Amino acid sequence: MTGNYYEILGVPEDATLPEIKKAYARKIRQYSNETHPEEFQLIREAFEVLRDPEKRDAYDRNGQVDGNYETFMQEVWGTINQEQFHSALDQIHGMEHAYSEDADFQFAKAICYFGLQDYQQSKRVLYQLVLKEPNHETYRAYLGLSYLNIGDHYNAKKQYKELIRMNPNESNYYLNLSQVYLNLNQFDEAMRLLENRLDSNSDTLDDYNIMTQLAFIYSELGNDFKKKKIIGRIRLLPRNEEEREALMDIIMRDCEGAHPNSPIARDLILTVDKLNTDNYPEINRWVRTYLKRYPEQTNQNYARQETAATTANTSRNYQQNDYSDEKDIGGSGFAAVIIGIILSIIATPIVGIIAGFVYYFYGKRILQAIGCLIVIVIVGLIILSGL
């Protein structure tokens, strides 16, 4: 008994599963294990492969072009892993006639285009793959990146929302969707997305990138309080010594490649300084060096200079200054106690307590009012005496 598995069972290559089962039952009656053990084993082997969709698909692919498919694809992926995308693409184009319908073959082609930054071509190939396999997370993830890189924000947003639905634990999907919102100047949407992601889980080292993205957004929105708070959460991420050293290494590499005007780089450098509890000399030198590169900045936006944002910041600053002027209007605590005691004796304890509190919170305004009243009375008396 010779031939491929289809020939062994006596079925065509497009045979359905019921047809394969019937052929198998017929063959094992004809070639029983007792009388034809070798043939029986071949029949059994053929049936076990062809009855399983995944095994059958792999068998079919490996059978193409004299069974060289697996070897060819290994060579292609090896070339891709070496980032020799032009060479890999040449290999792929040379076998297009044989494997054009194969999903893995098409995905390898898409990765070559992506590696060459030809995002239009990678999008075209990946879009067809996602149409055929809409639940394939990797295909969709690369399609989202292709849309993001060509500036197609609408479709990028659509892909990342679906990816978050498919795998809500993958932080990169939240980061990339937030980047879409930032590209659209929808800072509040990006902020809410990342805040909700952090609120849904306990903080781990994997949340570092989300936290730094949030710190950047808070800086852009002029919310220094929230920025300091999220930087503080970054400092608390490590749960052991190994994670503490890993976090310092991550932050240092990020700061070394940061934009010269990054609004959060200095905060991260100071975080490294606080994490360096062992007082490593090389880290101390690094901190001193990079603090000079990122001097303390005024509250200026790094990426967004919109009129609306400027107006909002001006309004916030005005309210803060207004509050600063008003918060120091109370009287001294000692004077408030004396006034309270005196009025408690003259009137009642309730009147004394109320008067003491009123003076404590509004003493300076009261004294100003009394001063104005005295001036008015004096001026009035002078006028009346003249008459």
Q: What is the pLDDT, as a whole number, of residue 317?
A: 41
Please state, in angstroms and rounded to a whole number, the distance separating the CA atoms of residues 41 and 35. Answer: 12
Model pLDDT for residues 22-36, shown as the tens digit of each residue: 999 998 888 888 888
Give the pLDDT band of residue 311 (cuts 50, 70, 90). Answer: very low
Domain boundaries, the chain: 5-62, 202-299, 333-386
Q: What is the pLDDT, as a whole number, of residue 378?
A: 73
CA 113, 118, 121, 125: dihedral to nearest 10 degrees?
40
Greater confidence, 335 or 252?
252
380 CA to centre of own chain = 71
Model pLDDT for residues 205-236, shown as the tens digit of each residue: 999 999 999 999 999 999 999 999 999 999 99
Handedness of CA 162, 167, 169, 170 (dihedral sign): negative
Of 240-254, 300-314, 319-333, give the range with the top mean pLDDT. Answer: 240-254
User: Per-residue pLDDT averaged across 42-60, rounded?
Assistant: 84
Residue with tokens 């307590």, as numbered in its chain: 353
Greater confidence, 114 or 279?
114
Residue 5 burial (C-beta neighbours within 10 Å; 0-12, 13-18, 19+): buried
> Is there a contact between 290 and 255 (Cβ–Cβ < 8 Å)?
yes
Overall pTM > 0.85: no
Tokens matching residue 52: 């399983």
CATH class assigned to 5-62: mainly alpha
**CB-side exposure of 196: number of CA atoms within 13 Å?**
12
